[in-house]
Chains A and B, each alone.
Chain A
Amino acid sequence: EAQVTQNPRYLITVTGKKLTVTCSQNMNHEYMSWYRQDPGLGLRQIYYSMNVEVTDKGDVPEGYKVSRKEKRNFPLILESPSPNQTSLYFCASSLGSGSNQPQHFGDGTRLSIL
Protein backbone atom coordinates (compact mmCIF):
# COMPACT_ATOMS: atom_id res chain seq x y z
CA GLU A 1 0.00 0.00 0.00
CA ALA A 2 1.33 3.43 -0.99
CA GLN A 3 1.89 5.44 2.14
CA VAL A 4 3.85 8.00 4.12
CA THR A 5 4.74 6.74 7.59
CA GLN A 6 5.65 9.03 10.47
CA ASN A 7 6.92 8.01 13.89
CA PRO A 8 6.16 8.59 16.63
CA ARG A 9 2.48 9.59 16.42
CA TYR A 10 2.60 11.26 19.83
CA LEU A 11 5.51 12.54 21.90
CA ILE A 12 5.70 14.49 25.15
CA THR A 13 9.18 15.64 26.05
CA VAL A 14 11.05 18.41 27.84
CA THR A 15 12.81 21.55 26.70
CA GLY A 16 16.31 20.96 25.35
CA LYS A 17 16.13 17.20 24.87
CA LYS A 18 17.04 16.40 21.27
CA LEU A 19 14.44 14.47 19.32
CA THR A 20 13.94 13.08 15.83
CA VAL A 21 10.66 12.46 14.02
CA THR A 22 11.08 9.93 11.24
CA CYS A 23 9.29 9.97 7.90
CA SER A 24 9.39 7.28 5.25
CA GLN A 25 7.58 6.92 1.91
CA ASN A 26 7.32 3.85 -0.31
CA MET A 27 6.26 5.56 -3.55
CA ASN A 28 9.71 6.49 -4.89
CA HIS A 29 8.75 10.15 -4.65
CA GLU A 30 11.39 12.81 -5.24
CA TYR A 31 9.81 15.71 -3.32
CA MET A 32 9.37 15.46 0.45
CA SER A 33 8.48 18.08 2.95
CA TRP A 34 7.67 18.80 6.60
CA TYR A 35 4.86 21.00 7.87
CA ARG A 36 3.60 22.16 11.21
CA GLN A 37 -0.08 22.84 11.79
CA ASP A 38 -1.20 25.31 14.43
CA PRO A 39 -4.72 26.60 15.13
CA GLY A 40 -5.53 29.67 13.06
CA LEU A 41 -2.25 29.47 11.14
CA GLY A 42 -2.92 26.52 8.85
CA LEU A 43 -0.12 24.35 7.52
CA ARG A 44 3.27 26.00 7.31
CA GLN A 45 6.18 24.42 5.50
CA ILE A 46 9.31 23.90 7.60
CA TYR A 47 11.73 22.31 5.12
CA TYR A 48 11.47 20.58 1.80
CA SER A 49 13.68 18.34 -0.29
CA MET A 50 13.61 18.02 -4.03
CA ASN A 51 15.82 14.94 -4.10
CA VAL A 52 18.56 13.09 -2.23
CA GLU A 53 21.04 15.50 -0.61
CA VAL A 54 18.97 18.52 -1.75
CA THR A 55 17.10 20.34 1.00
CA ASP A 56 15.82 23.88 1.35
CA LYS A 57 14.09 26.08 3.88
CA GLY A 58 10.36 26.58 3.93
CA ASP A 59 8.64 29.42 5.74
CA VAL A 60 9.40 28.40 9.34
CA PRO A 61 12.77 26.58 9.45
CA GLU A 62 14.17 28.09 12.68
CA GLY A 63 14.92 25.45 15.32
CA TYR A 64 14.67 22.51 12.92
CA LYS A 65 17.07 20.43 10.87
CA VAL A 66 16.47 17.83 8.18
CA SER A 67 18.51 15.41 6.13
CA ARG A 68 17.84 13.43 2.97
CA LYS A 69 20.45 10.71 2.69
CA GLU A 70 18.09 8.25 1.00
CA LYS A 71 15.16 8.90 -1.28
CA ARG A 72 12.58 7.24 0.97
CA ASN A 73 13.52 8.88 4.31
CA PHE A 74 13.29 12.49 5.47
CA PRO A 75 13.75 12.83 9.23
CA LEU A 76 12.96 16.04 11.13
CA ILE A 77 15.41 16.87 13.90
CA LEU A 78 14.82 19.23 16.81
CA GLU A 79 18.28 19.73 18.36
CA SER A 80 17.07 21.73 21.35
CA PRO A 81 13.27 21.73 21.44
CA SER A 82 11.41 24.62 23.02
CA PRO A 83 7.75 24.99 24.07
CA ASN A 84 6.93 27.10 20.99
CA GLN A 85 7.62 24.01 18.89
CA THR A 86 4.64 22.25 20.45
CA SER A 87 2.51 21.50 17.41
CA LEU A 88 1.06 18.92 15.04
CA TYR A 89 3.64 17.91 12.43
CA PHE A 90 3.04 16.38 9.03
CA CYS A 91 5.41 14.83 6.54
CA ALA A 92 4.37 14.74 2.89
CA SER A 93 5.75 13.48 -0.40
CA SER A 94 4.99 13.96 -4.08
CA LEU A 95 6.30 12.58 -7.32
CA GLY A 96 7.97 15.86 -8.21
CA SER A 97 8.04 19.52 -7.28
CA GLY A 98 5.60 20.61 -9.94
CA SER A 99 2.63 22.63 -8.77
CA ASN A 100 0.17 20.09 -10.14
CA GLN A 101 1.70 17.16 -8.26
CA PRO A 102 -0.54 15.92 -5.43
CA GLN A 103 1.08 15.67 -2.03
CA HIS A 104 0.57 12.53 0.03
CA PHE A 105 0.55 13.12 3.76
CA GLY A 106 1.36 11.00 6.77
CA ASP A 107 -1.07 10.81 9.67
CA GLY A 108 0.81 13.37 11.74
CA THR A 109 2.94 13.57 14.88
CA ARG A 110 1.58 15.46 17.86
CA LEU A 111 4.52 16.91 19.72
CA SER A 112 4.34 18.52 23.17
CA ILE A 113 7.41 20.26 24.59
CA LEU A 114 7.16 21.02 28.31
Chain B
Amino acid sequence: TQLLEQSPQFLSIQEGENLTVYCNSSSVFSSLQWYRQEPGEGPVLLVTVVTGGEVKKLKRLTFQFGDARKDSSLHITAAQPGDTGLYLCAGVETSGTYKYIFGTGTRLKVLA
Protein backbone atom coordinates (compact mmCIF):
# COMPACT_ATOMS: atom_id res chain seq x y z
CA THR B 1 0.00 0.00 0.00
CA GLN B 2 1.24 3.47 -0.88
CA LEU B 3 1.57 5.84 2.07
CA LEU B 4 1.09 9.58 2.45
CA GLU B 5 2.82 11.22 5.38
CA GLN B 6 1.83 14.69 6.50
CA SER B 7 3.76 17.14 8.61
CA PRO B 8 3.42 18.75 10.97
CA GLN B 9 0.79 16.70 12.76
CA PHE B 10 -0.35 19.67 14.86
CA LEU B 11 0.06 23.40 14.35
CA SER B 12 -1.11 26.24 16.56
CA ILE B 13 -0.42 29.75 15.29
CA GLN B 14 -1.55 33.34 15.75
CA GLU B 15 -3.87 35.07 13.32
CA GLY B 16 -1.90 36.72 10.52
CA GLU B 17 0.99 34.23 10.49
CA ASN B 18 1.94 32.14 7.46
CA LEU B 19 2.26 28.35 7.49
CA THR B 20 3.08 25.41 5.25
CA VAL B 21 1.78 21.85 5.49
CA TYR B 22 3.58 19.02 3.72
CA CYS B 23 2.34 15.76 2.20
CA ASN B 24 5.06 13.27 1.22
CA SER B 25 5.23 9.84 -0.32
CA SER B 26 7.92 7.53 -1.66
CA SER B 27 5.48 6.59 -4.44
CA VAL B 28 4.25 8.48 -7.48
CA PHE B 29 0.64 9.61 -7.54
CA SER B 30 -1.16 10.60 -10.73
CA SER B 31 -2.82 13.41 -8.76
CA LEU B 32 -3.31 14.52 -5.17
CA GLN B 33 -6.27 16.11 -3.48
CA TRP B 34 -6.45 18.34 -0.42
CA TYR B 35 -9.44 18.28 1.90
CA ARG B 36 -10.41 20.26 5.00
CA GLN B 37 -12.46 18.68 7.75
CA GLU B 38 -14.26 20.55 10.52
CA PRO B 39 -15.55 18.98 13.74
CA GLY B 40 -18.71 16.93 13.28
CA GLU B 41 -18.48 16.96 9.49
CA GLY B 42 -16.96 14.97 6.68
CA PRO B 43 -13.95 16.21 4.71
CA VAL B 44 -14.61 18.74 1.96
CA LEU B 45 -12.44 18.98 -1.15
CA LEU B 46 -10.30 22.11 -1.48
CA VAL B 47 -8.30 21.36 -4.61
CA THR B 48 -6.90 18.66 -6.89
CA VAL B 49 -3.39 18.97 -8.33
CA VAL B 50 -2.70 16.88 -11.40
CA THR B 51 0.47 17.96 -13.20
CA GLY B 52 3.97 17.73 -11.72
CA GLY B 53 5.09 21.22 -10.67
CA GLU B 54 1.54 22.57 -10.76
CA VAL B 55 0.62 25.47 -8.49
CA LYS B 56 -3.00 26.28 -7.67
CA LYS B 57 -4.32 29.16 -5.60
CA LEU B 58 -7.53 29.35 -3.65
CA LYS B 59 -7.69 32.83 -2.10
CA ARG B 60 -4.98 32.76 0.63
CA LEU B 61 -4.22 29.07 0.11
CA THR B 62 -1.52 27.98 -2.35
CA PHE B 63 -1.15 24.31 -3.31
CA GLN B 64 1.85 22.86 -5.08
CA PHE B 65 2.43 19.41 -6.59
CA GLY B 66 6.04 18.24 -6.64
CA ASP B 67 7.81 17.84 -9.98
CA ALA B 68 8.12 14.09 -9.45
CA ARG B 69 4.48 13.83 -8.26
CA LYS B 70 5.54 12.28 -4.96
CA ASP B 71 4.79 15.23 -2.72
CA SER B 72 2.58 18.27 -2.29
CA SER B 73 2.41 21.30 -0.05
CA LEU B 74 -0.26 23.67 1.19
CA HIS B 75 0.76 27.20 2.11
CA ILE B 76 -1.60 29.54 3.93
CA THR B 77 -0.85 33.26 3.92
CA ALA B 78 -2.07 35.45 6.77
CA ALA B 79 -3.99 32.67 8.50
CA GLN B 80 -7.38 33.48 10.00
CA PRO B 81 -9.41 31.70 12.71
CA GLY B 82 -11.73 30.42 9.97
CA ASP B 83 -8.82 28.36 8.60
CA THR B 84 -8.89 26.19 11.74
CA GLY B 85 -9.50 22.55 10.92
CA LEU B 86 -7.99 19.23 9.93
CA TYR B 87 -6.20 19.28 6.56
CA LEU B 88 -5.88 16.01 4.68
CA CYS B 89 -4.09 15.08 1.49
CA ALA B 90 -5.32 12.09 -0.52
CA GLY B 91 -4.66 10.17 -3.68
CA VAL B 92 -5.59 7.00 -5.55
CA GLU B 93 -3.09 4.14 -5.59
CA THR B 94 -1.35 3.71 -8.90
CA SER B 95 -0.76 -0.01 -8.42
CA GLY B 96 -3.80 -1.12 -10.43
CA THR B 97 -6.34 -0.97 -7.63
CA TYR B 98 -8.71 1.92 -7.07
CA LYS B 99 -7.95 2.31 -3.38
CA TYR B 100 -8.00 5.79 -1.93
CA ILE B 101 -5.13 6.69 0.38
CA PHE B 102 -5.38 9.53 2.89
CA GLY B 103 -2.56 11.22 4.73
CA THR B 104 -2.52 11.21 8.52
CA GLY B 105 -3.69 14.82 8.62
CA THR B 106 -2.52 18.17 9.99
CA ARG B 107 -4.64 19.70 12.71
CA LEU B 108 -4.41 23.50 12.46
CA LYS B 109 -5.59 25.94 15.10
CA VAL B 110 -5.46 29.66 14.36
CA LEU B 111 -5.78 31.86 17.43
CA ALA B 112 -7.41 35.27 17.23
Q: Could you say which of A31, A43, A108 contacts B102, with CB atoms under 8 Å apart?
A: A43
Q: Could you say which of B1, B42, B48 contacts A100, with CB atoms under 8 Å apart?
A: B48
Question: How many angstroms between the C-alpha atoms of A83 and B40 in the bound complex?
Answer: 22
Quick check: B105 and A42 within 8 Å, CB to CB? Answer: yes
User: B43 — nearest CB in chain A belongs to which residue?
Assistant: A105
Quick check: B40 and A59 within 8 Å, CB to CB? Answer: no
Answer whether A50 and B98 are a contact pair too, CB < 8 Å, given A42-B88, A42-B104. yes
B57 CB–A CB distance under 8 Å = no
Selected interface stretch from B14-22, B26-34, B75-83: B26-34
Quick check: B48 and A33 within 8 Å, CB to CB? Answer: no
B-binding residues in A (CB < 8 A) = 4, 31, 33, 35, 40-45, 48, 50, 56, 58-59, 90, 92, 97-100, 102-103, 105-108
